[in-house]
Structure 1
Amino acid sequence: MAQPRLDFLGVARDEEALYRRLLRQGVGDEPDQVAAETHTETADRLVTLGLATRTHTGALRPVAPARAVEHLIDHRLDALQAELEQTARGNGIVESLQQERETAPAPRPPEEAPTVQQIEGLEAVRAVIDELTFFARTESLTTNPTGIISPESADFSRPIDLRILRRGVRMRTLMAAPALDDADTLSYLRELAAKGAEIRVSHAPLERMIICDRSAALTPLDPSDTAKGALLTREPGLVATLVTLFDRMWAMAQELPTPDDEPPTEIERRILKTLYSADKDESGARDLGISVRTYRKHVASLMTRLHATNRFQAALLARERGWF
C-alpha cells in the first residue's frame, strides 16, 4: 500500500521527506546528509509549519507526529477561514443578503449613509453586532455592565468571538464585578482568555458599548433595557470619545483572576512544554501557532499561578503538579 502523503495539508514533498528523516534520526548524532539540510529554506519551512523546532544550538528537532498534524490542520483551517472571509468581503455577499430583508429600507448611496443610526429591537441589534464583528480587522472593544453572561448569550456570542480571535483581532472585554461570582460567566470568559482574549473585571460602574476597529461604535438606546435597541455611530469624533472612555475604564480594572489550583487549559499545557525547548518567545509562539503577545500573556499568567520566579522554574513546578 502506498505511503500516505502530507500534501493535502499543505506540505511539499521535500518538506515531508526531511521531516520523516528527522523522525527516523531523532535529535542525537545526525548523519551528515540530514545535518546539512537543517539550515536550508526547507528546514525553515518545517519550523514555520510546526513540524520541527530549533534547539538553543540551532539543531532541528522534529515535533511529535500527532502534534505536528494538529499544527498542519490548524494552519489549513486558518488559511481556509481567511480565504472564505476574503471572498465574502470581496463579492459583497453580506450586503446582498441584507438587501433581501423585507423590512430593511432601501440602501442609501455611501455618500448619504448616516453617521448615526437607530437600531430597534434585540434581533436587529444582534444582526448589527454580527456584521460589525465580521468586518473587524484590528480591534474589538466590549463592556458588560451587568457582569453576567447567560448560557444563551454565550451560545450566541461564542462563534462571533472565536471567529474574531482566529483572525488575530485584538479583543478586549470589560466585565462588571458580578462576573467573579457567576460560574457560567467565569467559564466562558476563561474559554475566551485561553484563545487570546484580554479580559478585565471592574468594580466601578461601566458604560455599555461595543467598538470595532475604532471606527464604529454601538451603544444602547436605554442602558437599563438593552432589548429596546441601540445607536450605531460611525462619526469619528463620537467614536474617539467612546474609545477614550473605554481606555479609562480599562486602566482602572483588574485582570481576570485565575485560581492557583485550577488545572491548566490545553493551550497552557502546550505552552508549559515549550518552556523546556523554546529558547525565545517567538519560537515558542510559532511552535504553537499563536501570536507572541498571546504566548507571553499565558506565560505571565502561569508564572503568577505557580509563584515561579522564572520560566524554567514554572515548568518544573508545573511538572511537579502533574500538569504535563
Structure 2
Amino acid sequence: MPQANLQFLNVEPDDEETYRLLLRRGGFKEAELARQLADDPHHEDAPLDPRAISHRLTELGLATATPGGLLAPASPAKAVEGLVERQVGRLRHKLEEEVIRSGVVDSLLAEHEKSMDCDGGPDTSTSTGQTQHIEGMSAVRAVIDELTYFTRTENLTTSPTGILSQESIAHARLMDSRILRRGVHMRTILASPALDDPATMSYMRELTSKGAQIRISYAPIERLIICDRAAALTPIDPAHTSKGAILTRDPGLVAALVSLFERMWQTAHHLPVSDDGEVEAAEFASDFERQLLRQLYTAEKDEIGARKLGIAVRTYRKHVASVMHRLGATNRFQAALLAHERGWI
C-alpha cells in the first residue's frame, strides 16, 4: 500500500518529509535542522535555510518551537485537524466572497418579501422607511446573522450585562470568527461583571488573539450592534431584550449611535492582564488608569484604593497587574516611576 501524503491539504512534499523526520526523531534544535535533513535518507535535497523551513512548519501547525529552541512535532491528529481547518477556512472565504459577488442572498430575500406580501405570512417585523421593528429573539438572531454576514469593514458591539452564557458564546463564535477572518475591525465593550466570569473572559481573550479589541466599562452602557456604520440594532425595550430589536439604516440615526458608541469606548478600560500575561497592547493611559496610578502613589492599602475608585479589591488588583505589565514594571514603585516618565501621571 503506497504511503499517504499531505499534498491534498496543500502541504509541499519537502515540508511533509521534514515533519515526518520530526516525528521519527522526536524533535531537535533548529540549528541542527540542516544536518538532520542531510543525514535523513527520506530527504535527499535538504533546504539550505533551516530557519525558513522551521517557520513554514510552525505556520502550518506541523511543529512548535519551544522557548528553549527545540523544534517539536505536533501530534498527527492535531496537525491534520489544523490543516483541514485551514482548507475549510479558505473554501468558506472563497464561497462567501462568491455569494456577495453574485447577490444571491438579496435575490432570495426579494422572493421571500414577495411571498409575505402576497400570502400575508407570519412576518415578525414591521417596517417604516429605513427602520424595522424585529419581534422575538429568534427573529433578532436571524437579523444579526444576516448583518454580520455582509459586514466588511467594522463591527461595533456592547454587552450591558457583561456576562455571556455558554449558549450565547457558542452562537457568537461562528459569527465573530467569520468577520474576523475577513479582516473586519471589531470593537466590543462589556460591563464590568465580565471580569468575574471565567467563560466570558476566556472568550474575550480568544477574540483578542484573533484581532478584536475589547474594553471593560464600569459605567452603564447601552446595548448596540453597529455594522459598517450603515446599520444599527438596538433593543425595543432595554430592560426586556427578549421582546425584540429596532433595526435602522437611517444615516442620521446610525451616525448618532456611532457617536454614542465612541463616547462609551473612550470611557471604557483596557482588558486587564490575564494569568499568563496576555493583555491588549496600548501606547497611552486611559483616565481610569491614571486614577489607578495615582492611588498607587497615595493609598496605603489596596482596599483604600479600590474604595476610592469604586471597584472591588479583586478587580483593583487585576488592573494594577495589567498596568504594571504594560509598563514593564516588576513592582508598584517602579510602575509609578515609569508612568511618571511616560507622562501618564
Alignment CA distance shift 1:256-1:169 (3 Å): same
Higher RCO structure, 1 or 2 (CA under 8 Å, sep 6+):
1
What are the Cα deviations for residues 260-282 of structure 1, in whole angstroms up to 9, with x where unaligned?
3x698xxxxxxxxxxxxxxxxxx
- Structure 2: how far apart are the matches of 1:149 and 1:105? 37
Report whether the alignment pairs 1:27 with 2:33: yes
Query: Structure 1: how far apart are the matches of 2:82 and 2:329?
Result: 29
Asked whether 1:64 is paired with 2:64, we answer: no
Bigger radius of gyration: 2
Verify: 1:5 aligned to 2:2, yes or no. Answer: no
The structural deviation recorded for 1:179 is 1.8
Deviations 1:214-251 (A, max 9, x none): 22111222222222332222223332232222122112
Match of residue 319 from structure 2:
none
Identify the residue that residue 110 of structure 1 maps to in structure 2.
none
Aligned-pair distance for 1:152?
A: 3.4
Q: Find the aligned partners of 2:191 and 2:272 in 1 and give their Cα distance.
A: 13
Match in the other structure for 1:230:
245
Q: In the TM superposition, what is the alpha-carbon distance from 1:127 to its structure 2 partner?
A: 1.3
Instruction: Compute the RMSD of aligned alpha carbons.
Output: 4.1
Cα deviation code 1:127-168 (max 9, x no counterpart)? 111100111122211011222323333333232223223333
1:75 to 62, 82, 86: 86
> Which of these residues, 172, 176, 183, is aligned with residue 187 of structure 2?
172
- The count of corresponding residues between Structure 1 and Structure 2 is 254
Alignment of 1:206-217 (within 5 A): 206-217=221-232
Aligned-residue offset at 1:68: 6.0
Residue 84 of structure 1 corresponds to which residue in structure 2? 95
Q: What TM-score, normalized by structure 2, do the two folds share?
A: 0.59
Q: Report the alpha carbon displacement of residue 211 of structure 1 after superposing the two structures with TM.
A: 0.7
Q: How do 1:96-115 and structure 2 match up within 5 A?
A: 98=109, 99-100=111-112, 104-105=116-117, 114-115=129-130
Name the SS for the 2:33 alignment partner: coil
Contact 1:218 1:233 in 2 (8 A): yes
How has the CA–CA distance of structure 1 residues 24 and 185 changed in structure 2, closer, same or farther, with 3 Å as cutoff? closer
Counterpart residue identity of residue 5, structure 2: R
> What is the 5 A alignment of 1:1-324?
1-11=1-11, 15-17=12-14, 20=17, 27-29=33-35, 34-35=46-47, 46=56, 50=60, 64=73, 66=75, 69=80, 72-95=83-106, 98=109, 99-100=111-112, 104-105=116-117, 114-260=129-275, 304=325
Q: Secondary structure at the match of 1:224?
A: coil
Distance of aligned partners of 1:85 and 1:18 in 2 relative to their CA distance in 1, 3 Å threshold:
closer
Q: Is the 8 A contact 2:145 2:175 kept in 1?
A: yes
> Cα deviation per residue 1:167-226 (whole Å; 9 max; x = unaligned)?
332221101122223344334433433443321110112121101122211122222222
- Answer yes or no: is the 8 Å Cα contact 1:23–1:62 preserved in 2: no
Name the amino acid aligned to 2:208: A
Instruction: Decide which moves more: 220-229 or 84-93.
Output: 84-93
Distance across 2 between alignment mates of 1:102 and 1:149: 37
Instruction: Decide whether the 8 Å contact of 2:19 with 2:73 is kept in 1.
Output: no
Equivalents in 2 of 1:186, 1:49: separation in Å? 27
Structure 2 unmatched ranges of 5 or more: 23-31, 39-43, 119-127, 279-321, 331-345
Superposition deviation, residue 306 in structure 1: 12
Residue type of the alignment partner of 1:50: L
SS in structure 2 of the partner of residue 171 of structure 1: strand
Q: How many Å separate the matches in 2 of 1:74 and 1:263?
A: 28
Closer, same or farther in 2 for the Cα pair 1:213/1:198, shift >3 Å?
same
Alpha-carbon separation, structure 1, partners of 2:170 and 2:82: 27
Contact 1:138 1:169 in 2 (8 A): yes
Q: Which moved more, 1:198-207 or 1:158-167?
A: 158-167
2-side partners of 1:97 and 1:69: how far apart? 37
Aligned residue type for 1:5: N
Q: Distance in 2 between matches of 1:185 and 1:37?
A: 43
